[in-house]
Structures are given as C-alpha cells and as structure tokens.
Amino acid sequence: MFDVGCLMLDIWFDMEETILLVDDEEGIRKVLGISLADAGYTVLTAENGEKALEIFRQFNPPIVLTDIKMPGMDGIELLKKIKHENAETEVIMITGHGDMDIAIESLKHEASDFITKPVNDDILEFALKRACDKISMQRKLKAHTENLEELVREKSAKVIELERQVAVGQAVEGLSSAMRNIAGDMENGITCFNEMPCFVSIHNHEMKVVATNQLYRKRLGDKVGADSWDIYQGANRNQCPAGVTFKTGTGRRSKETVTYSDGQEAPVIVHTAPIRNSEGDVELVVEISADMTEVKRLQEDLRSTQQKYQQLFDEAPCYISVQDRDFRLVAANRRFKEDFENGTAGSHCYEVYKKLSEPCHACPVAKTFEDGESHDSEMIVTSKRGDQYNVLVRTAPIRNAAGDITQVMEMSTNITEIRRLQDQLSSLGLKISSISHAIKGLLTGLDGGMYLVDSGFAKENMEQIREGWDIVNLMVSRIRSMVLDILYFAKDRNLEWERVDVLSILDDVVLTVEPKMADHHIEFAREFDPSLGEFEADAGVVRSALVNILENAVDACTEDKSGKSYKIGFCVNQDDTHIIFNVYDNGVGMDKETRENLFNLFFSSKGSKGTGLGLFISNKIIRQHGGTITVDSTPGQGSHFCIRVPKILPDSAKR
C-alpha cells in the first residue's frame, strides 16, 4: 500500500491492478488498504479529495474507491472531476446508512457502484469484480475496434491499388490518341513505350508490323515484317484491329485473343489510333494492347475482398455506420438496418438514432472530424420500433489517399442488458437496505416490549407486564411474517398440497387479522358461503397470501387521514370450478401507477414502512395454484381485491 507522503517517483507497478482509496479516516484507509492489498491490488491512498485528484492525474488508476462525506472536496465532487477527466475510470462510493439519497445521486453521475459502512469484504469483492469486468469489456471493445480500423485501412489500400490497375485501360486509350502527334524517326517514337506494361506496335498500309515495343517482342516474338493479324486468333487482313482502322480511318477498341510465342492464348483489350500524313491520309496505325488475364484476376480479388469486407461489415456484433461531414449515413451494416431504418442512406444519423432535428451535443463523430482521433461515448438511442437502447459508441476516421478525413465510421455496441442488470442490482441493494431498516425498527420495538416486561416484573406491575408482552407478541409476529416472506422469495418451493376445508383456512385467517383491525377501530364484515367444502391447496401458503392482502387493506385504512369510519369486507363464495375470495376496504385507494406496479418485486407505496415483498409473494402463491388476482381501486374511495383459486389444482402445480 502506497501513501502519498512516501510515494517515490521511481516506483513502478501494474496500473491494471491499481486502486486509489480515498477516505478522511486514517483507520479506514489502513484496514481497507490491507484488505485490498491481500486481494492482490496495488493501493494508493489519499486523505481528501484534493490529494486524491492530484494522485489520479499522476497515475490514472482504473478504479477509485472513495468516501462520499469528506471535508473540503466531497466524494460527489471528486466523482464528477474524475469522470470529466477520464470517463472510463470506475468509481465506487462508500457511504453510511444515512447517506442513501447521496449514494443514489452518485449513480446519476456515473458511479459504478456504492457500498455501505462498515464495509463487508464480500460486498466489496463483488463491487470490485463488477468494475473489473466492465473495464475488461471496454478494453476488448477498444481492441476490436482498433483491429477493425486496421482491416479497413488495409482493404482500402487494396481497393485503391486495384482501381489503379483498372485505370490502365483508360490511360492506354489516351496514349493512343497521343500517338497521332508522333513525328520524325519511327524507331525513336516506339522506344518511348518500352517501359509501358502493355503491347505496343505500329502497322503500315500494307498491313505489316513495322515496329514493336520491348514487352511485345518478349511475349509475342519479333513480329516486325509479319502480317498485322498474325498474333490474333481467327483474324484476317480485314478483321484485325489495324485493318479495321485503316478501313474506317478512326480509332477503335476491341476484345481479341492473342497467341504468345510459347503457344499460350490470352485475352487482350486492343486500342488503335490512326497516324495521318500531311495530306490527312492514314499512313500508319498504332495498336496498344493490355493483357486482361491479370486485370481479371485483380478484379476477382477485388470482388472477393469486397464480399469478405461486406460480410465482416454486416456480421459484426454491433451497429456500424459510415457518415460524411454533414452527418449523413453513407453506409450501414445489416444489424443497423434491422434495428433502425432500411432506407438509411442519405438520412442524418441524429434523425435515425435519436429522432432529433439537429446534431447531438458532444457528438463523437464531429470530434473525430475535428482532430482525426477515435472517440468514445455512451448514449441512449431509439429503434424504429420505439425501443430505447443504451449503446457504447466508438468512432474511427476514414482517410483518402492524400490522408484527408473524408468519412467517419461509427461503431455502437448495445449494452442495454448490462445497464438494466446494473440498475436491478442497485435497486436490489437499496431494497435490501430498506428491509434491514425495517428489521432494525422491529428489533427496536421488541427491545421496548422486553424492557416493559422486565420493568413490570421488577415493579410487580401486571398491567405493564401485559403491555410489554403484547408489544413482544406483535413484534415477533411481524418479524416472523417478514422472515417467511423473505424465505419464500429467496427460494422456489413446491406446493405441499392436500384437500383442505375452506372454512377452516378462513377461521385461521380471521383469528390472525381481526385483532389488528380491532386495534385500529376498523369494522370487519365477514360473509362466508357455508357450503364452500374442500379444495386442493397448500393451506399454509394460501393462508399467508390472504393474510397479506387483508393486512394491506388494514394499512390502506390507517394511511387514510380523512377521519371517516373504516370498514373491511371479506366475502368468500364459489362457482362450479373456483373458490372466490373478495376483500373490500374504504381506505386511501390507489392511483393508476400504483395499481400497475402493485405486484412487482420490491414495489411499495408505503415508503420505508414496506418491503415490497408481501403482495408480490401473495400474487406468486395464487398464480402457483393456477389462480388470479384482480384489483379495482379509486384514490380516496378504497380498493377491491378479487382472488380466484381453482378447486382442483392444475397438474403443472402438482409436479
């Protein structure tokens, strides 16, 4: 562990395993520093935010572990500065139980996680593993992007080279025209073509070859004095390229097949041009021929390269687009077109990605056009189906032969599921914290009841003993109910079903909830069909589900502050196939959002007083029995829960 005061500039360590630990309490720095060092990390420490920022700028550690509350620069301000200087740094916040709102605020500023004091080693290890996994993912994506950039550069260079080869034909045609201006000594005129990679020959009016360049002589033989059509397969005096030009007086372009001196045949493209005398008559014809075998091979290589490049482009596991300086989409891969728009070419990226009318703020493509460097960014985009995705964006410049940036390639990786998992884990952490606070409150109430019992015994005060014992009974009942809910949530269990009497379950439920209603002066109206008989169920869990729903009705009445008389109705009847339980209350009622989220895990409208487990588990129990729960509620007027449970348990629930 390295302290700032004694850290020497010549100390070297692996920055990939380095953590900067920031806390104003020396004891915490020492204890956590030892724990992190034992786990294999190199630890830098700082006693305040200012010193931490100084160390961070010097060593740029990948992970920072910082307390939130510190004198001077606090943890939130330090987090903002670190993220501004290096967005890839993972920052884990340390907070006390009373700082939950601040901890949640830190997540909005892109903190990767937070842990509470006292720091649990297992929780710390889990948080560090998540941070390391995220860093590893970012590095792999960066390496993948850099490899893709190199591949694009290589293929672009190949395409340029092939284009130059194809352009030879055009150059030959231009040179043929230039031959019309050749005057003077014929031999001097033809030697200027010795370095050209094509066959050059000059023919006279008698249809004889009068001069050739060096490559012609090497591949086709010494044909000076031979017939002009001698090298062409199936040609004669009038059909050979020179003969046609003499006849028409105009240059031409044709595809022919020549026979090399070794007997091999090869396709060529022949360009001819007439050379006129001073009277304007055609005196000579120049032929320039390019062997198409190599051109075809290069064209085939080009097609193969283009096909492989397109396949790589389309099958890449991310969204890839190419944009010009106006942010218009020049090209896009298959995955991009599937999730966004098929007709993307010519559209602006900000229209396709974000449905905006102007470029995005801090656009990474704009930055790459400005400085020629790759840039990273994280943003939220909207698909053509209206789905929103979190994407990690990286850009790369595309340059022309002169080195100028003409386009920018943008690669976006969908990290929606990763962000969703992070949000769920953060929510789970917060809910576990709220459950812990709820248990702490129950234990405090239990301590109070036990104190009254002990004090009553000491004073021989039976009334105080009974009061304390009632509190103990209430707290134990609540603790038991909460623990059973947590256990039921934590572990899937099979139903221990049997044929049970419905009225006997209802009697147990009434005995459980009626005292609580009486304590709050709530009228309890019961109406049970005496012919309910039996049904197949796990009696214990069905009883728990009904108790949860009835206790929720009690809470709805106690939360209402209008001062009216409160009433809960519990009516049970049947039809041919189902037992139907109806629970009514005239309590506080629910709005639309609460109704829609009522049975979601950890959702609670009671703030810190609820865990969000009760109704979630009740719904799970009823559905496990093949039943349903429907809710009708109006704010200020109360709620109606209708629970339908089949009399015969479905086969799927019996396994």
CATH of 2-119, one of 1.10.260.40, 3.10.50.40, 3.90.1150.10, 3.40.50.2300: 3.40.50.2300
- The amino acid that residue 442 corresponds to is L
Please tell me what DSSP assigns to residue 262.
T
User: Poorest-confidence range of 262-276, 408-422, 439-453, 603-617?
Assistant: 603-617
- What are the Cα distances from residue 59, in Å, to 20, 45, 55, 561? 9, 12, 6, 59
Provide the pLDDT confidence category of residue 433 given band limits of 50, 70 and 90.
low
Dihedrals phi, psi of 243, to nearest 5 degrees: -60, -40
- What are the Cα distances from residue 534, in Å, to 225, 477, 498, 500, 628? 117, 28, 10, 5, 19
- How many C-beta atoms lie closer than 10 Å to residue 601's C-beta? 16
Extents of the domains making up the chain:
2-119, 175-297, 316-410, 419-474, 498-654
Which of 250-272 are b and which e, b meaning 16 or more Cβ less than 10 Å from the residue's Cβ? ebbeeebebeeeeeeebebbbbb
Provide the pLDDT confidence category of residue 97 given band limits of 50, 70 and 90.
low
Place of tokens 């044709």: 254
Provide the pLDDT confidence category of residue 345 given band limits of 50, 70 and 90.
low
Share of the chain above pLDDT 90, in %: 29
Q: What is the mean pLDDT of the chain?
A: 81
Dihedrals phi, psi of 24, to nearest 5 degrees: -80, -10
Task: Report the candidate in 390, 407, 412, 399 with the shortest Cα–Cα distance to residue 327.
Answer: 407
Quick check: 626 pLDDT over 70?
Answer: yes
Write down the pTM of the prediction.
Answer: 0.35
Both tokens of 543, joined, read: 């009883």
Question: What is residue 217's three-state secondary structure?
Answer: helix
Say how far apart CA 114 and CA 426 lie, in whole Å: 8
Say how far apart CA 297 and CA 46 lie, in whole Å: 65
Q: What is the pLDDT of residues 3-51, one digit of tens each?
A: 543 333 333 344 457 899 999 888 888 888 888 888 888 999 999 999 9
Residue 565 is predicted with a pLDDT of: 92
- The answer to whether 390 touches 417, Cβ cutoff 8 Å, is no
Residue 46 is predicted with a pLDDT of: 93
Pairing of strands 523-528, 567-574: parallel
Tell me which CATH code domain 498-654 carries. 3.30.565.10
Higher pLDDT, 460 or 603: 460
Question: What is residue 235's three-state secondary structure?
Answer: coil
Higher pLDDT, 439 or 287: 287
Phi-psi region of 460 (alpha: psi -120 to 50; beta: other; left: phi over 0): left
Q: For the chain, what's the residue count?
A: 655
The widest CA-to-CA distance across the chain, in whole angstroms, is 145
Fold of 316-410: Beta-Lactamase (3.30.450)
Q: What is the pLDDT of residues 187-204, one digit of tens each?
A: 454 666 777 778 999 999
- The answer to whether 91 touches 79, Cβ cutoff 8 Å, is yes
Pairing of strands 578-585, 567-574: antiparallel
Q: What is the pLDDT of residues 117-168, one digit of tens each?
A: 878 888 888 888 888 888 888 887 777 766 776 766 776 666 655 555 555 4
Tell me which CATH code domain 175-297 carries. 3.30.450.20
Both tokens of 537, joined, read: 């169920």
Please check whether the two domains, 175-297 and 316-410, share a CATH topology.
yes
Task: Report the candidate in 358, 308, 312, 317 with the shortest Cα–Cα distance to residue 336.
Answer: 317
Task: Report the candidate in 400, 407, 412 with the shortest Cα–Cα distance to residue 144.
Answer: 412
- Hey, which residues does 65 pair with through a beta bridge? 21, 92
Please tell me what DSSP assigns to residue 10.
T
Say how far apart CA 81 and CA 45 lie, in whole Å: 17
Say how far apart CA 638 and CA 51 lie, in whole Å: 57
- What are the Cα distances from residue 417, in Å, to 205, 390, 421, 538? 80, 8, 6, 37
